[in-house]
A and B are shown apart, each in its own frame.
Chain A
Amino acid sequence: MKVSLKWLSEYVAIKLTPQELAERLTMAGIEVQGVQTVGGWEKMLVGEVIEVNPHPDADRLKLATVNLGTQQLTVVCGAPNIAVGQRVPFARVGAQLIDGHTGEMLTLKPAKIRGILSEGMVCSEKELGISDSHEGIMVLPSEAPVGVPLSEYLGDTIFDLDVTPNRPDCLCLMGIAREVAALTGEEVHLPEIDYQEEEQSIDSLISVDITAPELCPRYCASLVTGIAISSSPVWLQQRLKSYGMRPINNVVDITNYVMLEYGQPLHAFNYHKLGGHKIIVRRAKNGETITTLDEVGRTLNKDILVIADGEKPVAIAGIMGGLESEVTDETTAILLESANFDQATIRRGARHFQLPSEASVRFEKRLSRELPLVALKRATRLFHELAHGKVVEGVVDVYPGKVKPEEILISNEEVKRLSGLDLSIDEIVRVLTSLGFECQRTNIPSQALVFSPYWRSDINCAADLVEEVIRIIGYDKIPTTMLSSTLPEREPGPRLELREKIREIMVGLGFQEVLTYSLTSLERLRKLSIELEHEALKVANPMTREQEYLRPNLRAGLLAALASNQKLEPDGIRLFEIGKVFLPRGDELPQEREMLCALLSGPKSSLSWRGEKGEFDFFDAKGVTENLLRGLGLIAEFKPGSDQNLSPAESAEIISDGDRIGVLGILHPRVTQTFEIDGAVCLIEIDIEKLFIKPSGQKRYTPIYRFPAVSRDIALIVDEQTSYRQVESIIKSFPLVTEVTLFDFYTGEQIPQGKKSFAIRIVYQSPEHTLIDEEVNQIQQEMLDKLSQELGGSLRS
């Protein structure tokens, strides 16, 4: 919200510099986001137009003589609205102003216009940089002092305030004035609200009935007759304009002015257009219609609150008035409405009609129910003062929603308990009083009973009062201490520890971590499988199609990341992500499972003069998986897999303790293609949730043997169908075998068809003695016999 300090100073004395004031307000909870200075005009004065004559050589130009107090100057002027008697901003030669056509800054020089020398200029708002208006010269209020520097008269500082949703009372000048007063120890000067009343009573002229009191806690109205509709005074128009409001006529302008002053939206009806001279505040009937001020016909329903006369709706309450009862130039009597409406109803209604208005945005906040009468009186006074209206005696005040003001106990112990600030109850009472709270001391010396001022609907408990006290005292006065209370019991966090460990290992293995969006597109899911659509939870109001489904796997995002990087990255890519996937469970919250997904693709080593050649393949991925699981202390085995996104020839399931914990393999060429990836991609996917419950995740120390090891190499020929795992498990079943390493694998010409050859190094070691050859020979012979019997294996000759 914007606040003019010049206007604000009518309600409270401002003795601080704008910067100091901005700082105080910000610290106290009303953030000043911007400070704009209006003015700084050099060589510009308030002038008075004393003569206007036609230009001898140009129809559209005029010669205007302007009185500047000490001298008079005649200048050429093209503005259509210039007239004798006006007070105007006058720029002398040398003044800096904005070119009305180009928008650029220029320095005013003496100029000959159609043969006549012009030494100065009467300026438009645009030329002064006040607004974009350039249709004519700016006309100043008639009381503007002639000859005074323009900066002095028109200069101002505008604060741009960020008012938090709990402080609707600060969405107006009075609210800010109260804050400034409390923060600087000044008094608030209340605007005049008194006026003279006519004899006739309002009750005989209008009746107000609220049939939906739950939606309209209060409805106040006054009646003003004998109004002369005209434009409002220039000063008032200027103020509205500085708030971005278009001046319309004195009646509408006054309602807007009071809204800016007090934050209470008001609406003026043409009294003579109110059928039956009745106001009924009711829910609309389904299908009922109204044409609103913007000349749009609108269909209503029972969730919309309307102001109706004896026959039909005349306004959508709190949102927009009806066209028929609009105040026009012919209007002579107005019924002024100042009411309080249910905020939710206004909020929904404004959204329903897509009509966020100055009024509705205010009603959506929690406005005070005491405010309507105050604002009504202020506006009525201005009607009397500025529009020469005659005010009918009395006001209508229907107040079904009156609530007893709440009383809250505050004590210096409570202030200290929450804030850590030790303040006396006197100090607390002083601060609260400065904010308009009414404080009564109780018979307990450290306590006071507090009643909120009518404008503060946000104060409901002692904690609210504590904030009020310390924000005025200053948050910078709060001491800084460290938590000194008991430490909570330490609880194990296996999930986080495991995740951290996995990250550490993956990074150690050369993988780059990525984080991809939790939300993904249908298109991307379909690249993996047409069925995934039904396995993913959909967002009801997605921002874009790209982010519509909660990911049911990590693959899709990671593959997309790989694809987008592949074109830019000459070397091999290793990516991984640890994150949640979301699996729907009916109407319940989805299951959120933590997964690991890793991808390897491209050359194994970076391009280098001594680099290793070759691309990542299945066994690189398997090596990564083995290293990872070993690092976690898990024992795993691998079985041929059948994941539909992986190549059937090169995929495996990862099994640990009999449970499938993940998959690995080469991406199916079809998937590689749909993701537009070049070359083979190795994928590893592990369900981290399953790792938490694995008993093998416990590391144990095994002693290091002191006695020397003996190693033997064998070349074993077996049938092609025989898996290495079968061979290895037979070898490992023998005593003293401590290590088995496959160091070559061969199929081809040099061995019989249908056979393959494993070259295996077997290490033997005894914890108790130095092995002798005979001992090893004997074990190995038994081993070869068993390999031969069970697998038909033979040594390669």
Chain B
Amino acid sequence: MTLPTKAVLQQLEQIQKQASEELEKINDPKELQLWKVRYLGRKSRLTQVLRSLATLPLEERRKVGVRGNEVKNILESSLAEREKILEEARIASSLKYKKLDVTLPGQPLSVGRLHPITQTLEEICDIFKGMGFQVIEGPDVEWDYYNFEALNIPQEHPARDMFATLWVDAEVEGGKARLLRTHTSPVQIRLMEEKRPPIRVVVPGRCYRYEATDATHESMFYQVEGLAIDKNITMADLKGTLFEFCRCLFGEERKIRFRCDYFPFVEPGAEVAIECLACHGAGCRVCNYTGWVEILGAGMVHPDVLRRGGIDPQVYSGFAFGMGVERMPMLRYGIDDIRLFYGNDLRFLKQF
């Protein structure tokens, strides 16, 4: 081995030793960059050494070359290791610095909400949409004809007592007096005048009564009317439809009662009640100690009503139902005063 070769090998050992010692002490990423330039850069001693190999005999050049590359690899991997250590230390210290008081309150965001009645209406309509019903609407201000006469409630009919009415025209005789509809049923006639069976609709809307308000009575309330007319529609279909509705809205377990009741525009008539949600049928103030809460009136559309709508009752049959909407959230959430709905106190509305 020639003397220059030995010297070169010694130089390499020295570079490796010196570089490693320096690297151990570096804690700053900037210094690490300088170290890299110093020992691995184009102008570094190691590069110079490796370049100077050309002067050596071929045999020894190979030997030194191998050693030179070894040193370079060692330095590079030491550098990578050091970089990793420094990066981890940096993350660790930054995390320490950023530690939060997680108990500080979060950013309050303004959340909008739908009125509970809107939510209920959507829920009710969605259930019926799932059964093939379409949603339609009608006017709030109606003719006496649609609200009463066409529904088998002529002037002086005792059933008019069931509907205390707010009138627009107090003096006009016959069906030409205007009134605030007392129920959503007038839409039945309006629809029959326009459409032929099959008909399958639900009608949500506001209704009005001449009534002093208290915890359970409102002068304005929402109803959802339903109407299905076709050949071969029976009371069994009505019962099935309404039971399915109750199951969807009040749950599988809730007991349902389907009993005879009277409404002038249906025959046979029915009423649906569910087991009281407050006392589970035991009897309490909510259910007037009967264990049952009435939720809707229903029946087969009266043949006279079909006839007035231009539909032949010998060929077609159908059912209709109508329900008060406020009752549902009152039962479900235990709301004890119906006036809260249209009092629009945000402290109430924000709860839903």
Instruction: Give me the interface of A with B, judged by CB distance under 8 Å.
Output: 26-29, 31, 33-34, 164-168, 343-344, 347-348, 364-366, 416-421, 461, 463-464, 466-467, 470-471, 475-476, 478-488, 490-491, 493, 495-496, 500, 503, 506-519, 537-543, 547, 550, 561, 564-565, 568-569, 571-574, 580, 582, 589-590, 592, 605-606, 608-611
Q: How far is the CA of A514 from the CA of B213 in the complex (A)?
A: 19
Number of A-B contacts (CB under 8 A): 255
Q: Least Cβ distance of B189 to chain A in Å?
A: 14
Given contacts A29-B262, A508-B112, contact A481 B211 (CB under 8 A): no
Which of B107, B198, B219 lies in contact with A488, CB distance below 8 A?
Answer: B198
Q: Is the CB of B139 within 8 A of A561?
A: no
Q: How far is the CA of A537 from the CA of B142 in the complex (A)?
A: 13
| Majority secondary structure of chain A interface residues (helix, strand, loop or mixed) | loop
Chain B residue numbers with a CB within 8 Å of A347 are: 156
Given contacts A366-B158, A418-B234, contact A582 B113 (CB under 8 A): no
Q: Is the CB of B108 within 8 A of A608?
A: yes
Q: Least Cβ distance of A190 to chain B in Å?
A: 26
Q: Is the CB of A29 within 8 A of B260?
A: yes
Which of A418, A488, A606 lies in contact with B110, CB distance below 8 A?
Answer: A606
Q: Least Cβ distance of B304 to chain A in Å?
A: 8
9 pairs, A vs B, C-beta closer than 8 Å: A28-B259, A29-B260, A479-B239, A481-B234, A493-B134, A513-B115, A515-B342, A540-B171, A547-B219
Given contacts A165-B158, A475-B270, A574-B112, contact A564 B345 (CB under 8 A): yes
Q: Is the CB of B162 within 8 A of A165?
A: yes
Q: Is the CB of B208 within 8 A of A518?
A: yes
Chain A residue numbers with a CB within 8 Å of B243 are: 480
Given contacts A417-B232, A482-B244, A561-B344, contact A574 B259 (CB under 8 A): no
Which of A366, A485, A573 lies in contact with B233, CB distance below 8 A?
Answer: A485
Chain B residue numbers with a CB within 8 Å of A496 are: 135, 137
Q: Is the CB of B198 within 8 A of A485?
A: yes
Q: Is the CB of B135 within 8 A of A493?
A: yes
In the complex, B293 has a CB within 8 A of chain A: no
Q: Give B293-351 interface residues, CB cut-off 8 Å to A.
A: 300, 302-304, 317, 341-342, 344-347, 349-350
Instruction: Give me the interface of B with A, judged by CB distance under 8 Å.
Output: 104-105, 107-115, 117-118, 122, 131-132, 134-137, 139-143, 155-159, 161-162, 166-171, 178, 180, 195, 197-200, 206, 208, 210-213, 219-220, 228, 230-237, 239-241, 243-244, 257-262, 264, 267-270, 288-290, 300, 302-304, 317, 341-342, 344-347, 349-350
Chain B residue numbers with a CB within 8 Å of A485 are: 198, 230-233
Q: Is the CB of B178 within 8 A of A419?
A: no
Q: Is the CB of B236 within 8 A of A420?
A: yes
Given contacts A467-B268, A478-B235, A512-B349, contact A164 B262 (CB under 8 A): yes
Chain A residue numbers with a CB within 8 Å of B347 are: 568
- 5 nearest CB pairs, A to B: A420-B236, A467-B268, A420-B234, A29-B260, A510-B110
Q: Is the CB of B206 within 8 A of A518?
A: yes
Chain A residue numbers with a CB within 8 Å of B228 are: 483
Q: Least Cβ distance of B39 to chain A in Å?
A: 40
Chain B residue numbers with a CB within 8 Å of A568 are: 345-347
Q: How far is the CA of A476 from the CA of B317 in the complex (A)?
A: 21
Closest Cβ neighbor of A345 among chain B residues: B156
Closest Cβ neighbor of B142 among chain A residues: A589
Which of A487, A565, A592, A610 lies in contact with B344, CB distance below 8 A?
Answer: A565
Chain A residue numbers with a CB within 8 Å of B268 are: 418-419, 463, 466-467, 470-471
Q: Is the CB of B200 within 8 A of A488?
A: yes
Q: Is the CB of A580 within 8 A of B317?
A: no
Chain B residue numbers with a CB within 8 Å of A507 are: 112-114
Q: Is the CB of B230 within 8 A of A480?
A: no
Closest Cβ neighbor of B292 among chain A residues: A26
Q: Is the CB of A467 within 8 A of B260?
A: yes
Q: Is the CB of B156 within 8 A of A344?
A: yes
Chain B residue numbers with a CB within 8 Å of A539 are: 166-168, 180
Chain A residue numbers with a CB within 8 Å of B341 are: 515
Q: Beyond A467-B260, A493-B135, A513-B118, list 12 extra A-B contacts (CB 8 Å).
A: A478-B258, A480-B240, A485-B231, A487-B198, A488-B198, A512-B113, A512-B346, A515-B344, A519-B219, A547-B219, A589-B141, A606-B108
Given contacts A515-B341, A589-B143, contact A503 B118 (CB under 8 A): yes
Chain B residue numbers with a CB within 8 Å of A475 are: 239, 258-260, 270
Closest Cβ neighbor of B263 among chain A residues: A164
Chain B residue numbers with a CB within 8 Å of A509 are: 112
Chain B residue numbers with a CB within 8 Å of A512 are: 112-113, 346, 349-350
Chain A residue numbers with a CB within 8 Å of B114 are: 503, 507, 513
Q: Is the CB of B113 within 8 A of A513?
A: yes
Q: Is the CB of A540 within 8 A of B290?
A: no
Chain B residue numbers with a CB within 8 Å of A421 are: 235-236
Closest Cβ neighbor of A505 among chain B residues: B112
Chain A residue numbers with a CB within 8 Å of B211 are: 543
Q: How far is the CA of A569 from the CA of B304 in the complex (A)?
A: 54
Given contacts A541-B210, A543-B219, contact A564 B235 (CB under 8 A): no
Chain B residue numbers with a CB within 8 Å of A508 are: 112
Given contacts A513-B114, A543-B211, contact A463 B219 (CB under 8 A): no
Chain A residue numbers with a CB within 8 Å of B198 are: 485-488
Q: Is the CB of B259 within 8 A of A518?
A: no
Chain B residue numbers with a CB within 8 Å of A33 are: 288, 290
Chain B residue numbers with a CB within 8 Å of A416 are: 234
Q: How far is the CA of A111 from the CA of B214 in the complex (A)?
A: 49
Chain A residue numbers with a CB within 8 Å of B200 are: 483, 487-488
Q: How far is the CA of A364 from the CA of B259 in the complex (A)?
A: 27
Closest Cβ neighbor of B343 among chain A residues: A564
